[in-house]
Structure 1
């Protein structure tokens, strides 16, 4: 029987399939597609079917951009064991090619849920893909095993990290977990202060609020705020999706940089993940210990202090669909250089 690609319009059907793949990734969730829809993009929930049996699935977001529209698939596609991965990717690509003209899409970008190995690089090269100039969400990640007890997690932390976690309440730092828009406003405001220190391109207010609203209804997001004498000193947005928690976005105040607010938040978020029954806590993007000049080096050292191990996914791959792709590639190359990435 031949495979057929078709769009899925039912949330329950979609979620039942993607949650079979562990670690679960919110990047392939129904709600992540709805978040992108709130930003004006179009989510395509594509399923690969053999009769009525689903053999593959991938959330491809038709992203509208001035430099050229494109399809983006992060942490996917997800292909059932026993199904040819190469055939599945080929069929998804063929489907997107049939609609690329009407969507004015100039390329397909995939950051697969495959490890960063020479064999996987070759696999996509054989499909006709090129390594992308930019990343697509976190690729080199740091993940903590939550099957450990709290005592075991503390014991495995770097000495200084454990010290700051325990010191936070003694310094008068308290952490609250919130599920309201006011907490998002705090995160957004503190991000502006963080930008002034670290000089990165900030996320918009609509981006933060849209992400929160998309995951709030199903209790898959929480905002953590650290305070000192009623003043917010640090904030983080954490996604809880299936068996995985993700330390997605965080920010802190300039004035209280010496207080361990971020340490207190992460420890609270880890404990909440254990209460929810998560198996993994993903600290999100990190860089190598040898990349001392990278803008994320200090943040990576901070994350790694909590213990865990690196999971490094294959870099994002691009498949050009028109000449406009090369214009986009040139623009992204300049942007990457300016950001020092």
Structure 2
């Protein structure tokens, strides 16, 4: 499975934001790393990377990342290794001087729907309500379309604002998603799917494509038409379109652990699992200190800040 965050299109998008991007590979390993800024200073971040086929390949990739970090003056390297066994990975990573990052930057668990089979089999694994909506919603006047016009991102932004007001969450900024649209949609690397009711949009979903995988990235719907549940057949349409284009997987992105029913993603997780599929796990986000004194100072400052916030929160309650 190729990760969209490793593609040339994503590299070009990062460059459009003014960031320096590095791509390296060797026998059994590869990574795409982005230079970022945080309170520690410069950081080298490899989203879902490095990808390594063995421990030996991982060690070679880690050496390359360490050398690259030193050459560009990064305080530490932040990685999300792919290819290591998630259960044994913590011991493997700690033994090499890495430590868990404060938070996971990309999901530690994701949900995959495989498309390399007859689409009837894909539909058969979904909840009956999902199948029925996909097959019958046209009777209610709902149609679906795909667009690569970056101006259409305004449809999704409007629905995201509605969802944010309703659920009290903060979506990515309009400026960021507009830049995503302008960089990726004309190149065909991102597609916006829109559900229309009698000619007017009622739901939208933005997806990113790699060579074999479509990633379901952002989605929202019109509050006034929530009872239509148009987001469900819209997602099935996105899957069917991906299969028609020869893609083998749809990555529905982050899900909550099964043993955490109160997790903030629990509702999204139930929605995603209703389409069938399987879970994949990653070792999470880890830091490799390169400038150890500055990294230690960064960790201390972060812990002090978090302690003050916790104290203020308890005082307020």
How far the C-alpha of 1:161 sits from its partner, in A, is 2.2
- Which of 89, 107, 111 is 1:142 aligned to? 111
- The superposition leaves residues 38-79 of structure 1 with CA deviations (integer Å, 9 ceiling, x where unpaired) of 22322122344xxxxx65331111113466431111121234
Is 1:75 aligned to 2:48, yes or no?
yes
What SS does the corresponding residue of 1:165 show, helix, strand or coil?
helix
Name the counterpart of 1:189.
158
**Hey, what's the Cα distance between the residues in 2 that align with 1:233 and 1:246?**
21
How far the C-alpha of 1:34 sits from its partner, in A, is 2.0
1:1-341 equivalent positions in 2, closer than 5 A: 23-48=1-26, 56-65=29-38, 68-79=41-52, 84-100=57-73, 105-114=74-83, 117-320=86-289, 321=291, 322=294, 323-326=296-299, 329-330=302-303
**Hey, what's the Cα distance between the residues in 2 that align with 1:286 and 1:228?**
30
**Higher alpha-carbon deviation: 259-268 or 39-48:** 39-48
Count of aligned pairs between the two proteins: 306
How far the C-alpha of 1:128 sits from its partner, in A, is 1.2
How far the C-alpha of 1:298 sits from its partner, in A, is 1.1
Q: Is the 8 A contact 2:39 2:298 kept in 1?
A: no
Gaps of 5+ in 1: 1-22, 49-53
Q: Is the 8 A contact 1:168 1:263 kept in 2?
A: no
Q: Is the 8 A contact 1:106 1:325 kept in 2?
A: no
**Hey, what's the Cα distance between the residues in 2 that align with 1:258 and 1:211?**
30
Aligned-residue RMSD, C-alpha: 2.5
Gaps of 5+ in 2: none
Compared CA separation, residues 40 and 157, structure 1 to 2 (3 A): same
**Hey, what's the Cα distance between the residues in 1 that align with 2:305 and 2:165?**
23
Q: Is the 8 A contact 1:158 1:307 kept in 2?
A: yes
- The superposition leaves residues 260-291 of structure 1 with CA deviations (integer Å, 9 ceiling, x where unpaired) of 21112111110111111111111111113442
What SS does the corresponding residue of 2:155 show, helix, strand or coil?
helix
Compared CA separation, residues 145 and 328, structure 1 to 2 (3 A): farther
Q: What TM-score results when the alignment is normalised by the length of structure 1?
A: 0.81
Compared CA separation, residues 327 and 180, structure 1 to 2 (3 A): farther
- The superposition leaves residues 180-220 of structure 1 with CA deviations (integer Å, 9 ceiling, x where unpaired) of 02221111111111111222221112211222233334422
Name the counterpart of 1:4.
none
**Hey, what's the Cα distance between the residues in 2 that align with 1:288 and 1:164?**
28
- The superposition leaves residues 118-165 of structure 1 with CA deviations (integer Å, 9 ceiling, x where unpaired) of 311211111211112222223311101112212111111122322332
**Hey, what's the Cα distance between the residues in 2 that align with 1:258 and 1:38?**
39
Q: Is the 8 A contact 2:149 2:186 kept in 1?
A: no
Compared CA separation, residues 211 and 331, structure 1 to 2 (3 A): farther
